[in-house]
Amino acid sequence: MDSGGFSWSLITIIGPILLALVILWAMLRNRKASRRDVDRTEQATRDLYKAEDAKLDDEKL
C-alpha cells in the first residue's frame, strides 16, 4: 500500500485546519485590552521615559 498519498492528504487537510485553529486562538488571546490595561501601560511607559531622562541628566552633570 502506498502511504504517500495518505501523508499528502493529511498535510493538505489537517495542516490548514491546524493553522486556522492557531490563528483563532491567537486572535482570541490577544483581544483588545481593557481601558484600565491601556492606561496602566501608558503610565508605565511615561515613568520609564522619565527615569531614563533623569539618568541621562545625571550623566551629563
pTM of this structure:
0.49
Sequence spans of domains, the chain: 1-30, 33-61
pLDDT above 90: residue 60:
no
- Tens-digit pLDDT profile for residues 17-55: 999 999 999 999 888 778 898 899 999 999 999 999 999
CA 15 to chain centroid, in Å, comes to 22
| 3-21 mean pLDDT | 87
Please report the DSSP string for 1-61 in residue order. Answer: ---HHHHHHHHHHHHHHHHHHHHHHHHHHTPPPPHHHHHHHHHHHHHHHHHHHHHHHHHH-
